[in-house]
Structure 1
Amino acid sequence: SFKTDEHNRRYPVHGPVDAKTQVLLRKKEKRVTSWPDLIARVFRIDVKADVDAIHPTEFCHNCWTIMHRKFSSAPCEVYFPRNATMEWHPHTPSCDICHTVRRGLKRKRHQPNVQLSKKLKTVLDQARQARQRKRRAHARISSKEVMKKITNCSKIHLGTNLLAVDFPAHFVKSISCQICEHILADPVETSCKHVFCRICILRCLKVMGSYCPSCRYPCFPTDLESPVKSFLSILNSLVVKCPAKECNEEVSLEKYNHHVSSHKESKETFVHINKGGRPRQHLLSLTRRAQKHRLRELKMQVKAFADKEEGGDVKSVCLTLFLLALRARNEHRQANELEAIMQGRGSDL
């Protein structure tokens, strides 16, 4: 019946929303009152121009559940089709969906073997289920490998092997990205309560489609939110080992970037050479004559490039190199001022 078997329910595509959905939308302060508007917001499909003679006039309870849980805050593991959303093509006489049934003689069917034992049927069913489980597991593994290749974040994210404490496996999984399996970096949370690195989930949504990589629930970049503060405080308090070769220091994840930047500054200050074993001085600490001597080869290369490509304008080439260096160090304010001077909108150098 309609009340007992809810999975056989059907809802009109062009009708108003039902009472239960209307109550939920009022709680969330949404002004949507009809199914076409709700379908457009959740599935990104415009059904207002559908023709009743061609397009379906009803949708199933599974789609209703997806739309209902889209606006509810409860965690969900709703099935969502693996394939992309179906596209409705213009109607033609040779339509593969609604063409007339083939008229002809029916093929004679063999009568099922009554002697087949129940035990053999059970064995066959178990073998079929085992094959299906193996196929699903293989597809899941291959999908995870594809997503790891898409993110390609092994050089910018920290692995869980750098944790200073040997935490339980379930805790490590909870503070790891479910795509790249590294420690969460700039974590974001989806509407289905799964947590990923921001760069990983954005790359996967762009390439794989608008669904959660863990449960395949509909997910869009606008749905991503920051996790609760208590989770972020636990994540930032984790102690990790510094991956530098000569550094055995253990720092919290919150102070890790500052610690690594100190390593980079020390490398920029002294560039070690093999001859004499003495640290080489930084370029800015030298005299003008020594600077000219060290940059002599680079100066010749810049002059050759300017003569070949820019008509001998060495100044514009040097200014462009300086502008690119400022942009690379995220010093955009100084870069904008320099760019304005180069384009003649500011004071002369």
Structure 2
Amino acid sequence: MIRLQDIADMAGVSRTTVSNVINGNTKRVSQETIDKITRILKEQNYVPHMGSVMLSGHGSRIIGVVLGFATAHGMQSLQDSFVGELIGTIQTEAERKGYFVMLIGGEKIEDVVDMASRWNVEGLIILGYDEERYRQLSRKLNKKMILIDAYPEGEYTFQNVGVDDYSGGYQVGEYLYSCGYHRALFIAETDKDSDSRRWNGFKQAMEKQGGFCSKSRLIVVPGEKRQRLSRYEELLPRFLEVKALAFSSDYGAIEAMNYFFDHGIKVPDQISIVGYDDNIYAEFVRPRLTTVHQDIHQKGVISLRRLHRMIEGETLKEMNIKSPVRLIKRESVKE
């Protein structure tokens, strides 16, 4: 196993200088020396002893990614393509900046406080927390934090990275209305947060011509798969009557398409379907799914970069970064 002194000898610097670079204490180290040491560390596959790093007092180089929900769509949350792509992007971006990533189950706030404190994480990126859970955590843990897709009741007083969910819902409603589906339904697993914003945009677009879109057209289905499919069976006559469904996620849309296929119902000839996210499966399914594209990769990159700036001592003036979304028309809507 290669030692710290071996790295120092190869770089022609002191052992202390190498240690400072590893621990992020580089204010008195030239960029040329930092690059040289970093290159040698990579070439030698040097792995620092984490206990020593944390005891150094110069930062652990660990970013905690808090997953605030254990399940999504009735399955383990990490099986969800949105969650997987987001965490994978954060991991890749963190490595580029010399950080490690620790995944922390966040259903219990006490567990987040315990893990973040024990490992001296330098900051947290949090998915699946609302404003109240964030407040509870921040009262117990003094760490830099970035939330993803969180919606406060009022103005943003915390750092958040999200997308324009209202616009996405509006684009879907506007498109379906233009195709003649004036009674289309909106299908979601919750009536809160991003799903609520998407529904509100959908509703507003449907009403722009002076019509009325009642809340009865928002269908909140169970999170457990068997119960959800049972609900589809109950709603099937209504689905066939309105002829178009907008889903708050691609997962829900594709699951419904499979359900309809199994029951001999043709998409889009009998029921048109629109999703949301534009995940990796949207182009694999047949017919290809019309959906709202959000840049999940960009969301992960922005989250990590902004957290890094906070760790470096910068005060971020803009509290909420809201990226645009766009409707992708494919084959699942009959125009």
Q: TM-score category by the smaller chain?
A: under 0.3
Output the TM-score relative to the length of structure 2.
0.21
Q: Which structure has the bigger radius of gyration?
A: 1
Q: Which has the higher contact order (CA 8 A, sep 6+)?
A: 2
The structure carrying a bigger strand percent of its residues is 2
Output the TM-score relative to the length of structure 1.
0.20
